Structure 1
Amino acid sequence: MGTLYQATMKHQVIQDLQVTLQDSTLIFPSEDTERKSIFLSNIDQVLNFDVQTVHFFQANPDFPPEVVNEKLKSALGKVLVPYDFLAGRLKFNPEVGRLEINCNAAGVGFVVAHTEFSLHEIGDLVYPNPAFRKLVAKSFDSLKADDQPLFIVQVTSFKCGGFAMGVSNNHATFDGISFKLFLQNLASQAFPDKPLAAIPCNNRELLAARSPPRVTFPHPELLKLKIPVGQEESAAPPVFDCPEEDLDFKIFHLSSNDVAYLKDKAKGPPAGPTKITGFNVVTAHVWRCKALSCDTGDDLSRSSTVLYAVDIRSRLCPPLPQSYTGNAVLSAYATAQCKELEEGPFSWLVEMVTEGAARMTDEYARSAIDWGEVYKGFPHGEFLISSWWRLGFDEVEYPWGKPKYSCPVVYHRRDIILLFPDIGGVKDHGVNVLVALPAKEMEKFQTLFHKFLA
C-alpha cells in the first residue's frame, strides 16, 4: 500500500525547458483607484516571501497563446480595481514598526515567454520538476528593489499551442483560499460581460490585534523573535529562512483506497475521533514517519511537534467573510514523544491532530494574533505540513478551459512536507506526499511509510 511516485517518472523529466523571454510589461488598474495604505495583520506580517504556482493548459485552437495573453492582460486590468492592493508596493512604516501595502497603482508584472518543447514532452506534470522554476518570473530587473511588483504573471507558450501560466505573488497578499477566489475572479473577467465570482473583502483590520492585546493561551507553536529596536524591517522569518540542503526527495502516493484504509484504522481500537478526515489521517501518518526517521530517532523520549494550517474564517465570532483576501490561516500543532508515536494506536495519533485543529476557537485565534503583537514571532515546530491537496486551483474555468494541472513550484526543504493532488484534482481523493530529507533519513522514512500502511 502506498506507492513511490518518483521511481517510475524520473527518467522522463526534462531538466532545462529552454525558456526564452519575449516581452515584459506592467499592467495597471483599468480605472482610477484610491491612493491609501493597507493594514497588514500579524498573520500577513510574517509571510513576506514569494509563492510561485504554475497552471498548465492544453492547446485550444480558439485560444492560441497570443490571444490568451491579450485576454489575461485585459482581465488583470479589470480585477486590479477591486484588488487595488495587488498593484501596490510593500513598504515598512517606521512609525508603527509594521509592513503595509502602499496602494499606489504601480502595477503588476506580465511576462511573455516561449519554449520549443511541447506540453507532452516535458514529462509528468505531477512530478515537481525544479525546471518549472523557469515558468515563473520572480522579479523585474528594470525596477528597483523597493518597486518590485507584488504579483507577476508569466505566460509560457509551448510548441503544441498549450501554455503555462506561472504566477509569483508575495504571500502577504493571499492565502491559498483567497488566491483561488482571485483566480476565479481573474478567469471571470477574461469572459465577455461576466461578473466577478465574488466581491473580495479587503478589510484586514478584521484580524487586527485587540487593544490592549490579551494572550490568554500558551502558544508553544510560536517562537519569540528577539529583534533590536529599529531593525524590524530587515528581520527575516527564521522558520522560512533556511538554505537548501543536499537532500533526497521522493513523492509517496496515497490512493483513495490508502486514505480509506487510514480512515478505517483511525476508528480504533481504542475509539478514535468522532470526525475522521482525510487530511487528519494523512497528517498523523506522515507525522509518525517523519518523527521516527529523524537522525535522533533512536531517542524515543524526544518530543516531536507537527504544524499544519487551519483556516479560521468560520471559526471566528462573528465569522470572517469567505471572500476575505488576506491570510486567515493559523498554525495548529500536535506534540507527542517519539515513544508514543511509535507504540501508540493510530487512532490516538489522529485524535491528537484532530484536537490540534479543534483548539483553534475564536479566543485561541485572537490570542495567537495578540501574541504576534506582543512578541513579533513566527510559527515554530519540528516541521510543517503544507497542504495544496484540496485548494482546487485546477477547478477554475477560463474561456480556454480548466487547467490540466496546477501545482506549486517546489523548493526542497526538510522542514516542510507538501501534500498535493494528482491529475484529476479533488475529484480523485488520493494525495501525493512530497518529502525532502538527507539520504539516511529518507531511507528510514520510506521504510516506515510502508510499514505503518501494512
Structure 2
Amino acid sequence: MKVQTKSSMILKPIYDGEPPSVVDSIPLSIFDKVNYNTHVALVYVFKPPTPTNTTIQTGLQKVLAIYREWAGRLGMDNNGCPAILLNDEGMRFVEASADCTLNQAMPFKPSMDLLNFHPTLKGLEELVTVQLTRFTCDSMVLGFSTNHIIADGLATSNFLVAWGRVCRGLDIGPLPLFDRTIFTPREPPIVEFDHERIEYMSKKLIKEQPYSYANSDDSSDGLIIHKAHFTLEFLSKLKAKASEGRNRPYSTFESLVAHLWRAITQARGLNGFETTHVRISVNGRQRMNPRVPNEYFGNLVLWAFPRAKVKELLQEPVQYAAKLIHDAVAKVNDDYFKSFIDFASNEEVVKDMVPTADAEKMVLCPNIDVDSWLRFPFYDLDFGGGTPFIFLPSYLPVEGLMFLLPSFIGDGSIDAIVPLFEDNLVTFKKLCYSLD
C-alpha cells in the first residue's frame, strides 16, 4: 500500500456570526499539568458510502468554533502560567489517497504502516492533526491525533462525536463544560496521600520514580505490538474464575487486566522478588462529590497503582491479582482526588517537581500501563455514512503500554493491544488464552 499526500492545510474555526474579537487564554488545570504532554493518535476506518472531504472539513471547522482549544496553541497567559491560547491559529488537515482497495490493505494491525495515515508529528505546534486517506474503493481512513495535555480520552471522544453530529446537521448537545477553574483547594488544605511520589516526583529524586526500567536501555528494538482477541465466552469464564468465592463479581475489566498482568509478567521472565505494578487510569468525573459532568472538556484522570512481588503474583490464582486491582482503583476516590487538588494547587511545592507521567519512556518493564477505551464512545463517530468499521490506536512502540478496546465485531468481545519484546511474545501467546 502506498499513501500519497494530496494537500495539507491549516483549518481555522468557522463562526456562526462575528468571531471573538479578543484573544483569550485558558490556564491549564492541575490535572492537565500532571498528564502526558504528547500526541495520542487514533485510526478510524469507514466503508462506503462516505461523505465528501469537503463535508467533513466544513463540519470540523464549525465544531472548532465551539471547541476553540483545539484550534489554539500551548503557551503562557498574562500571569506567566501554562495555558491554552485561544488564538484560532488552526489545526493541520491533510488529504491523501491510497493506491489500493481497503480489502487489499487489510488486516490493519498495530504496525509502522499505520503511520502512513498521519502527518508527521515532529516539531508540531498544532494541537490536532487530521488526515483523510481515500482508497480506490471509496473507503476512508481517518487518522486523528491530539495533544493529551488538552483533553483526556472521554473528552476527546465527546469532541469526535460532536464533529460527526455537526457534519450531519445536528445539534451537538449537551454542550461541553469548558471551565477548568472548578478544581479549587480546600481551606485549609488536607493532603492525605503521598502525591509527591505518585503523580509527581522531585527532580532530585527522578531516578526513584515509580517506573523501573530493569534490563533496559529504553530502546524499542525487537518490539512487537500484538493484538489479542478475547471472545465474550472467554471473558465470561475468566470473570467467573477471578470472582470465585466472592459475593459480588469483579468487573470484566478487573478480571482481564489481572489475567494479562500475570501473563505478561510470566512471559517477561522476571526475578521472583522483583516488584511489578500496573498503572490504571481512573476517571474523576464519576468519583468526585459533587460529580463532574461527563461533558467536562479537559483532563480529569489520576492513576491507581496495584503492585505485587512477581513471585506472589504468579503463585497466587488470578483472584489475587483481581483483588489488588479492585482495591487500588477503589482507593482513588473523592478523598483522593480532593487531596491531590490540595497538593497540586500549592505552586511552591510542585515548582521543583515533574510529573511521573513520562511520555519519553519506551520500556515499562517490569511494569504495565493500561489505557482502557472500553467505555468511551469512539465507535459513535458518524459523519453521515455510518459508524466506523474499525477503530484502533495508531502505532505507539512502548513496551508494556497496553490498550483495551471493544472489538469491531460488536459482540462484547475485547481486543488487547499488547507491545512486548519478540523474545517474550511466544510465551505470552501461550498464556493469554489459558485459564489454568
TM-score by length of 2: 0.86
- Residue 353 of structure 1: how far off its partner (Å): 0.8
In 1: Cα distance, 2:8 partner to 2:256 partner: 42
Classify 1:70/1:119 alpha carbon distance in 2 versus 1 (closer, same or farther; 3 Å): same
Query: 2:170 matched to 1:186?
Result: no
Residue pairs, 1:45-124, within 5 angstroms: 45=33, 46-60=35-49, 63=50, 68-92=52-76, 96=80, 98-124=81-107
1:265 aligns with 2:241: yes
392, 399, 407: which one pairs with 1:422? 407
Cα 1:185–1:91 change in 2 (3 A) is same
Pair 94,201 (structure 1): closer, same or farther in 2 beyond 3 Å: closer
Which of 421, 431, 434 is matched with 2:414 structurally?
A: 431
Give the Cα–Cα distance (whole angstroms) in 1 for the partners of residues 192 and 87 of structure 2: 38
| Counterpart code for 2:261 | W
Change (3 A) 1:110 1:261: same
Distance 1:84 1:242, change over 3 A: farther
Counterpart of 1:341 (choices 308, 313, 323) is 313
Instruction: Give the structure 1 partner of residue 127 of structure 2.
Output: 150
1:304-319 matches, within 5 Å, as 304-319=276-291
| Distance across 1 between alignment mates of 2:53 and 2:392 | 21
Q: Which residue of 1 aligns with 2:113?
A: 131
Displacement, 1:398?
Answer: 2.4
Partner Cα distance (2:379, 2:212) in 1: 29
Provide, for residues 411-433 of structure 1, a one-character-per-residue CA deviation record: whole Å limited to 9, x for no partner.
Answer: 12113122233222xx3222122
Q: For residues 188 and 138 of structure 2, what CA distance do their matches in structure 1 show?
A: 57
**Partner of residue 377 from structure 1, selected from 355, 360, 378:** 355
Residue 225 of structure 1: how far off its partner (Å)? 4.0
Aligned to 2:340: 368
Q: Distance in 2 between matches of 1:355 and 1:315?
A: 15
Q: Give the residue type in structure 2 aligned to 1:39.
A: P
Q: Which amino acid aligns with 2:156?
A: F
- 1-side partners of 2:37 and 2:187: how far apart? 24
Name the counterpart of 1:170: 147
Deviates more, 1:254-263 or 1:432-441: 432-441
Alpha-carbon distance in 1 for matches of 2:204, 2:58: 43
**2:180 counterpart of 1:200:** no
Question: Residue type of the partner of 1:38?
Answer: I
Give the counterpart of 1:224 among 188, 201, 212: 201
Q: Secondary structure at the match of 2:276?
A: strand
* Aligned-CA RMSD value: 2.7
- Report how far residue 288 of structure 1 moved: 1.3
Q: 2:369 & 2:383 partners in 1: Cα distance? A: 32
Indicate the SS of the match to 2:324: helix
Partner of 2:425: 442
2:142 alignment partner AA: M
Unpaired runs of 5+ in structure 1?
1-16, 229-236
Following superposition, the deviation at residue 379 of structure 1 comes to: 4.1
Say if 1:446 and 1:273 are closer, same or farther in 2 by CA, change over 3 A: farther
Residue identity opposite 1:378 in structure 2: T
CA distance in 2, matches of 1:58, 1:267: 40
Cα offset, 1:110, TM superposition:
1.2
The structural deviation recorded for 1:397 is 2.7
Unaligned runs of at least 5 residues, structure 2: 359-363
Deviations 1:39-93, CA, capped at 9 Å, x for gaps: 2123222321101111111121xx4xxx521112211121112211111101146
What letter matches 1:51 in structure 2?
A: V
Q: Is the 8 A contact 2:158 2:377 kept in 1?
A: no
The 2-side partners of 1:401 and 1:56 are apart by 11
Q: Whole-Å Cα distance in 2 between the matches of residues 205 and 273 of structure 1?
A: 41
Structure-2 separation of matches of 1:79 and 1:273:
47
Aligned residues: 410
Indicate conservation of the 8 Å contact 2:71/2:91, yes or no: yes
Aligned partner of 2:23 in structure 1 is 35
* 1:248 aligned onto 2:236: no
Match of 1:326 in 2: 298
1:260 is paired with a residue of what secondary structure? helix
Q: Secondary structure, in 3 states, of the residue corresponding to 2:286?
A: helix
Q: Hey, what's the Cα distance between the residues in 1 that align with 2:424 and 2:188?
A: 46
Kept after mapping to 1: 8 A contact 2:239/2:249: no
Cα gap change, 1:378/1:350 in structure 2, threshold over 3 Å: closer, same or farther?
same
Counterpart amino acid of 2:408? I
Quick one: distance in 2 between partners of 1:369 and 1:58? 45
Aligned twin of 1:357: 329
Letter matched to residue 236 of structure 2: A
Following superposition, which runs of at least 4 residues in structure 1 exceed 6 angstroms of deviation?
A: 237-241
Q: From the superposition, tell whether residues 417 and 433 of structure 1 become closer, same or farther in structure 2 (CA, over 3 Å).
A: same
Paired residues of 2:39 and 2:146 also in contact (CA < 8 A)? yes
CA contact (8 A) 2:228 2:417 kept: yes
